[in-house]
Structure 1
């Protein structure tokens, strides 16, 4: 096997790096080499140690043992973030560090303002900022705009420009496309390739397998804090990489065929003439019991707003929501929940979980009346109630009393699903259900969604990841500019067709004859299983 980087010496090396938090071993004897002009992917499930490794590289966390070398220089054990940046290590986090209330120019020059006679030299600042932006293809961006006004993808590029301005030899990307649309994500990957071609060493961390195969030269797999393997990306296919990450074979992420979903039946959820605020026309949507319907569209198309309006969280100007033929009172999330509608929001930490409460309390919080006795909390009954709600969800945790914040992203999503099961939900509205979730937990969540549909729930899924919708859903409804513009059976949908319909002037870009089913759609007719090795 040829040496990564075409035989060049690594710009950054870790040898035998370990880190513990009390009795918990986060990293144990990890090795890593990053070569100039290569994209090195870091793969592993949540809890594998990826975040800890990034924090050690950037000086945010101090290693307990092992060697850290940058361009032949040994880094001391207590290296600070400022020292790591000076040594040439830059990082672009999923949650950007830009200050939204400041201008683009001020953000780019933060900490390095050019001055003259004790005052900021605005002309030199603009020249420096413009040079930074040119490197990432944003030469025409208005320097006086505040960062908070910019689209997420543009903010990502501004952050990259700032990192590169510090003469970074290594740039770490931590889940950079999570909040981007498919087109924006593709553009960012092209920018990463350009950095590689300039000779920068890139460490790329993502849960999206297709991104690793699109740009990765080398991959290092971590599992439970240990180094599993480092090999060229070309040595893997998706199945073998997943097996290395999770320690078991996942023959396909998506559930098998569900014959019940294709049977004609009564609508469980009906949206009739519902018009959320800012929607140009009313919306009609029907979902049968046992059916999974996906909502596809670009960011800002109105997908999430429609879910929130159905749940009563956002105001509407007209229309009705019916559950099993009975109207659901408008504008009340409490009444919607009691009638049997549940919503998993896109941001589970901000508007879903209660991080200061325990796992048990987070599950039972919406159904105390059911689990209590005469209005009082009854501990044993609550415990039985919660255990029934998590049955079959494969929730991994230490103790019911542990804080919910101690769980991985996938297990936190399972807690939220259990909360709605405990309340007896008959309709589930899922907004980005696998956002920030590793591949093993994704397979679990897909199976759970399919099982819930098989049990008779009507399910609506919003996702920015089209393979997820095509592989999981029975129908895909396309949302464009706050209108429902197409309703496609998954077996007839392709990523290209859905993207064309979702884009502005999309209807004019779709070819008249129906496209062949996509690979993800065709796989829905295969037998898919998850096996333990």
Structure 2
């Protein structure tokens, strides 16, 4: 790795960017050395995404200097100009065209031609060279991208970036959709890029990945650089404190009162595709985790309980009364709320304001938007968002202007505003920084203390073990075991969740344990298996 004192590959000086009244970047200075992995850390809304967009030409900076190998980049640099300067990016949401072949995707920005036609033989030959660089020499370039795993698609995306002579590759949350093993393989590939002299700007909320692969880290807070230091100068606690500006003593809330009477009951529920009925009870004040590998049926069970997916039989009861959850609207009227895994596709209304996204599920209590009951709606929205620290310019701003973590907090506030009796939370902290996680966990604990029954699906095992009173394990669309918090360990959950694990374990009592673990952000196996 080149030392930070050597001439930087990329240099920003005094770079600023504002959106109306919101300052996304304020006088940011950043140097990325040749052949280093430079991490970018900060809470949601700290300015990381905006900084990436400035570097890659997705947005124009308002002021300041941006240089690549000493050459000044104009303020309104385009993505094509950024690529030509050697800046490549691998986004969390991959940009490959799934119905095209690997070869066609790799040559997207420059098709080899002969006599006015695409030279397919040369295209495939170039593709093989590009794939070999990322360890995919055996992959047939004629394969459609839709046939590839998420991890392989990620490597194809990297191959495309490197194929255009990228000297800096920006990785934006690259391991969100990967299993633990796939993430380790990607980190090894990034380390190999560094050894080849390629610079990497690495953005992630997973602190363990920064410590595994990073050389230096720049911490952003509220659009400003807090500090840039070698990763080795930090431990997890000090890095978190630098990011959020406060010390987080315990990530997970402490003890809660014992649960009360049964609030939610799934009695012989048979979601479509499940081979057997499901029985599950959740008490007032209880937080129950659903653990399982991707495709195990954990998300489908939540969606069926909320009326979003078809049910072939069985009953759903809330406070002992049968719920006719034939649709999400009917389920919401009965006191259920669902925070979906994909907030943009299934949760948020991106064309509406932040305020209306919070209030939309509680309109019968606040009046329609056409009626001038704005004050009551604003009061309800403010109360529902208390403690969540949603970073915004104004409640009237579009929800699309928020960072991913603040969008997630908006959805939590929405269901808090409804006075729901049951909350079904699917990956509630996906793509959320550690400070925002602590805020969301605290609100979940407060809602449970108010008597709500809460079910949480998460691929991050420490989250389930630290937050839940018991963990129900789903395997191949069956509930196969119930572990109270005192008995729930990573090994026990993974043993039940694995297809080669033991047969269905007998249900255990749902009494909460006396305490919960409270690490800052431990490194642990993921339940994702893509």
Q: Same fold (TM over 0.5)?
A: yes
Is the 8 Å Cα contact of residues 37 and 215 (structure 2) preserved in structure 1?
yes
Q: Are 1:350 and 2:345 counterparts? A: yes
How far 1:488 sits from its partner (Å)?
2.0
Between 435-444 and 239-248, report the one with greater CA deviation: 435-444
Provide the aligned length of Structure 1 versus Structure 2: 511
Instruction: Give 2:318's aligned residue.
Output: 323
Out of 363, 366, 375, the residue aligned to residue 361 of structure 2 is 366
For residues 447-458 of structure 1, what are the structure 2 equivalents within 5 Å?
447-458=442-453
Out of 296, 316, 327, the residue aligned to residue 332 of structure 1 is 327
Instruction: Give 2:134's aligned residue.
Output: 136
Report the Cα distance in structure 1 between the residues aligned to 2:233 and 2:487, rounded to whole angstroms. Answer: 33
Check 1:7–1:458 CA distance in 2 against 1; reply closer, same or farther (3 A cut). same
Report the Cα distance in structure 1 between the residues aligned to 2:337 and 2:127, rounded to whole angstroms. Answer: 47
Q: Deviations over 1:451-497 (max 9, x none)?
A: 11111111111112222222211222222222223322234333344
Out of 511, 516, 525, the residue aligned to residue 524 of structure 1 is 516
How far 1:23 sits from its partner (Å)?
4.7
Is the 8 Å Cα contact of residues 368 and 377 (structure 1) preserved in structure 2?
no
Is the 8 Å Cα contact of residues 181 and 464 (structure 1) preserved in structure 2?
no
Instruction: Give 1:215's aligned residue.
Output: 213
Report the Cα distance in structure 2 between the residues aligned to 1:421 and 1:445, rounded to whole angstroms. Answer: 12
Report the Cα distance in structure 1 between the residues aligned to 2:68 and 2:441, rounded to whole angstroms. Answer: 42
Report the Cα distance in structure 1 between the residues aligned to 2:378 and 2:29, rounded to whole angstroms. Answer: 44
Is the 8 Å Cα contact of residues 311 and 341 (structure 1) preserved in structure 2?
yes
How far 1:8 sits from its partner (Å)?
4.9
Out of 436, 441, 445, the residue aligned to residue 440 of structure 2 is 445
How far 1:198 sits from its partner (Å)?
2.5
Report the Cα distance in structure 1 between the residues aligned to 2:157 and 2:198, rounded to whole angstroms. Answer: 16
Q: Deviations over 1:378-419 (max 9, x none)?
A: 444444444444455444545443333334434433332333
Check 1:107–1:292 CA distance in 2 against 1; reply closer, same or farther (3 A cut). same
Out of 137, 140, 152, the residue aligned to residue 150 of structure 2 is 152
Report the Cα distance in structure 1 between the residues aligned to 2:473 and 2:321, rounded to whole angstroms. Answer: 26
How far 1:278 sits from its partner (Å)?
1.8
Report the Cα distance in structure 2 between the residues aligned to 1:25 and 1:376, rounded to whole angstroms. Answer: 33
Q: Deviations over 1:5-31 (max 9, x none)?
A: 486543222233233345543322322
Matched residue of 1:492: which SS?
Answer: coil
Report the Cα distance in structure 2 between the residues aligned to 1:63 and 1:378, rounded to whole angstroms. Answer: 39
Is the 8 Å Cα contact of residues 90 and 157 (structure 2) preserved in structure 1?
yes
Check 1:233–1:319 CA distance in 2 against 1; reply closer, same or farther (3 A cut). same
Report the Cα distance in structure 2 between the residues aligned to 1:480 and 1:245, rounded to whole angstroms. Answer: 37
Instruction: Give 1:96's aligned residue.
Output: 94
Instruction: Give 1:484's aligned residue.
Output: 479
Instruction: Give 1:514's aligned residue.
Output: none
For residues 299-448 of structure 1, what are the structure 2 equivalents within 5 Å?
299-372=294-367, 378-448=373-443
How far 1:280 sits from its partner (Å)?
2.5
Report the Cα distance in structure 1 between the residues aligned to 2:50 and 2:409, rounded to whole angstroms. Answer: 24
Matched residue of 1:477: which SS?
Answer: strand
Instruction: Give 1:33's aligned residue.
Output: 31
Structure 1 consecutive aligned stretches of length 4 or more whose deviation exceeds 6 Å: none
Out of 181, 185, 206, the residue aligned to residue 187 of structure 1 is 185
Is the 8 Å Cα contact of residues 466 and 518 (structure 2) preserved in structure 1?
no
Check 1:66–1:362 CA distance in 2 against 1; reply closer, same or farther (3 A cut). closer
- Identify unmatched segments of 5+ residues in structure 1: 511-520, 529-533
How far 1:252 sits from its partner (Å)?
2.3
Q: Are 1:171 and 2:169 counterparts? A: yes
Is the 8 Å Cα contact of residues 43 and 245 (structure 1) preserved in structure 2?
yes
- Identify unmatched segments of 5+ residues in structure 2: 506-512, 521-530
- TM-score (norm: length of structure 2): 0.88
Between 460-469 and 449-458, report the one with greater CA deviation: 460-469
Report the Cα distance in structure 2 between the residues aligned to 1:414 and 1:52, rounded to whole angstroms. Answer: 20
Between 451-460 and 125-134, report the one with greater CA deviation: 125-134
Check 1:199–1:493 CA distance in 2 against 1; reply closer, same or farther (3 A cut). farther
Is the 8 Å Cα contact of residues 34 and 40 (structure 1) preserved in structure 2?
yes
How far 1:301 sits from its partner (Å)?
2.2
Report the Cα distance in structure 2 between the residues aligned to 1:177 and 1:352, rounded to whole angstroms. Answer: 22
Is the 8 Å Cα contact of residues 18 and 64 (structure 1) preserved in structure 2?
yes
Report the Cα distance in structure 2 between the residues aligned to 1:168 and 1:225, rounded to whole angstroms. Answer: 27
Q: Deviations over 1:40-88 (max 9, x none)?
A: 1101112222122112211222333333332343434443322221222
Report the Cα distance in structure 2 between the residues aligned to 1:186 and 1:507, rounded to whole angstroms. Answer: 27
For residues 97-136 of structure 1, what are the structure 2 equivalents within 5 Å?
97-136=95-134
Check 1:394–1:274 CA distance in 2 against 1; reply closer, same or farther (3 A cut). same
How far 1:234 sits from its partner (Å)?
1.2
Is the 8 Å Cα contact of residues 4 and 32 (structure 2) preserved in structure 1?
no
- TM-score (norm: length of structure 1): 0.88
How far 1:341 sits from its partner (Å)?
0.8
